[in-house]
Chains A and B, each alone.
Chain A
Amino acid sequence: MSALALPLGITRRSPTFAVGASIVLLLLLAAVFADVISPYNPTQAFPYEVLRAPGGKFLLGTDGNGMDVLSRVIHGTRYAFGIAVPAGLIMVLIGVPLGVIAGYKGGVIDEVLLRVLDVLRAFPSIILALAVVAATGSSLVNVVLVIGFLDSPIFARVVRAEVLALRESTFVRAAVAVGNPPWRVMLVHIFPNAILGATAQLPIRMAWAVRISATLAFIGVGVQAPAPEWGAMIRQGAEYVISGEWWVATFPGLALIGLVLGFNLLGDGLTDLLDPRRKATGK
């Protein structure tokens, strides 16, 4: 009973979370077991099987180089997660302290953050990302760094909003009254209570990271063929849509939509679950 009870309980409380988590989990498993479940090596070209329609030996067909679309889509999850997860880590490591300090102390740091956010809001981030990656080189590492850094102010803003609310709460006042220096108020009292609200944002930011990296690859910057990255695959596949070979671009496109949707639902659902109306267990 009890092993199933918690997932059932969560699903009841937030079907959104359940669906999102299932999708992400599924694709994560695909990433982990990609080598096992892929019928073929993703970069193995079958020159006599170029642009085969889905069915038979190649369930989702082959692309312009004769590579199996299914295997490439499956391996594409590694790129998606391989970018989203480290980028997520960077945005947390930078965004959280930034948000806490900006929200609690205000001052110069807050001003700088707010101005950076203004710039980001005015400037389409895809163009910034494009510019930086184009300038520094299309390596995977660069893409991760750029996305991570670009997103941290946005994450910081979410954290900052939580902190601003917490700053006025009674227990933070009490923490000051007891004699805590500001660094301790931020570390012990503000931070643990602020991240709860910000946690729901993380999957949503990761969804964005997946989208941006695919977009960069699609444009021709970032990860490039023959690497089985969805954006690069869509770029290649776009050429063939007009001539009727729809599957080359469609399946990676669906996978991309699926993962982004999954992350977004996960984030939304997390907000439901962490609703303060429910008693927080604190453990």
Chain B
Amino acid sequence: MSERTYDELVQLHQSGKITWLQLVEQSEDKDDFIQWCKDHNVKPDDNYAELYLEQTEEEMSFSQGNWDSYEKLQGQ
């Protein structure tokens, strides 16, 4: 399988072609996610993949300094 960018993986998930778990397993955060699951004594599944991505995704997208779009996500 050719390597896909994170944006491509997100699009595949949004179109229902891959699950959250498949998304993270194909991303560069796969190892980090598996380690996170081990440290928390949980099995990698779709539920925890979604939580992991929600907690870290905003960090990733804002590494490019895209501050203004963050305000849309802020529910505060």
Q: Do A and B form a real pair? A: no
- A→B interface (CB under 8 Å): none
- B→A interface (CB under 8 Å): none
